[in-house]
Amino acid sequence: MLKDAWSLAIETLSWIELKKFSEHMALAKTVKQLSIRNPDAIRLGYGLVLETERRRNLIDKYLNHTLGSKKLEEFTVGIQAFLRLYVYQTRVTRDWEGFDLKEAEHIARLGRAILGWETLREVEPYLGFLLTQKIEPILEAAKDEEKVALQTYHPAWFVKYCFDLFGKEEAVAFLEGNLTPPETCIRLSTLRSSQEEILQKLDAEGVTLEKVEPLKHTYRVIRSKNSLNRIDSYRLGFFYIQDKASCFAAEAADPKPDDTVLDLCAAPGAKTTYLAQLMQNRGVVYSVDYSKRRMKTWRQEVGRMWVNIADPVIADARSPLPLQVEADVVILDPPCTSTGVFAKLPAAKWRLSPKSIEKMTDIQWMMINNCVDKVKTGGFLTYSTCSVTVEENEMIVERFLQRHPEFQLVDVAPRMGLPGLRGLEKCQRLYPHVHRSNGFFIAKLQKIA
């Protein structure tokens, strides 16, 4: 099992490095490629990937410090992945204090078995040094922003951005909040049964829950005897594993039974299935996404969750939408930098640069403008992202209101987050360190004339 887990971790990290895949995509490709079926091996391997990626900048800094004249990037991606995992397991898990020689020797044997003795021979001489070097000199030599970046495991440019946006004290709290993955939440499906009956069924399956207020159908998972996606209640569509920020977005949109709803960037289906639930499966939801691969998952989830009012539309929301509708509710959750989900998907941190924000705002601006004529007079446009940057959030909304005076900001209900920045207090923001969820922004606009 341990060899399978390490094989999976090395290969998954290699795909992330080579193709800039997300952790989920790289894991799925690796599981298929290596034909690994053991769920315990997959769980352990994926955990190694997430926690190594989470601390990648400090691990790389330590490796380059110890390797001396030869830099980490000069090795093959397989060796890079092994060295990062080796440092994580032998040093980071022990808070850089002491080491277990037998554990280190066992990991080295795993590396030889997976990568081959000839491949690993190049770095064998460094493995002992990596067990004994101190981390303190590296941190002490770093300047303020770089030191915070290394201590909280974020790119230095993003640390500076957060200092400028939130102030140093609040920025450090936010960055430290990204070190802990958000709590696992599920949304119960009242299309399938009553909440009371579902709660009884989940309790019988060994799932202990706690209600998330003020949301209607969302519960945090306190404990579960088995993986949530392997129990009968999941397979039968009694619940959806969904971050509470995502549940919040659907409730804020507040669709009513018999409404016409337009869900843009809809795959893989979390929003669509909750919108349909809130509509009691009455009315119509047009779900638009450009990705045929993601819409295949959307179809599976819509079926599993007993939704029968959703129509899939393969289209790119950056272009005029191929739908002749005026909707009561339009909900746009566009692609973003994902700066609010670093705790959940840490590899995203290392793919971004300041230019990424500019690129995403261009896409978001095109998409939100393509919503204008799809909202009926009196209808609502809900805009949300899982980013914390003002450029992708408040500044998009400000610009939109200047261009389209027929829209006005309205209050978001329920009141769950903190007020938006730049004076847009009717918007709401969620933060990992405050709300134990993904970082999130939401604005609700009504077409008044």
Alpha helix (H) ranges present in 178-279? Answer: 195-204, 232-235, 244-253, 270-278
Amino acid 45 reads: G
The answer to whether 360 and 335 are in contact (CB under 8 A) is yes
3-state secondary structure of 211: strand
The CA–CA distances, whole Å, from 88 to 19, 51, 82, 344, 424 equal 22, 8, 10, 18, 42
CB burial class (10 A; 0-12, 13-18, 19+) of residue 28? middle
The dihedral region occupied by 258, where left means phi > 0, alpha psi between -120 and 50, and beta the remainder, is left
Residues in Cβ contact with 95 at an 8 Å cutoff, skipping those fewer than 6 apart: none
The answer to whether 158 and 203 are in contact (CB under 8 A) is no
The CA–CA distances, whole Å, from 194 to 206, 222, 239, 397 equal 19, 21, 11, 38
How far is residue 441's CA from residue 387's CA, in Å, rounded to a whole number? Answer: 7
Q: Which of 185, 247, 371, 386 is catalytic?
A: 386
Establish whether 386 is a catalytic residue. yes
How far is residue 126's CA from residue 172's CA, in Å, rounded to a whole number? Answer: 34
Q: Which residues are catalytic?
A: 386
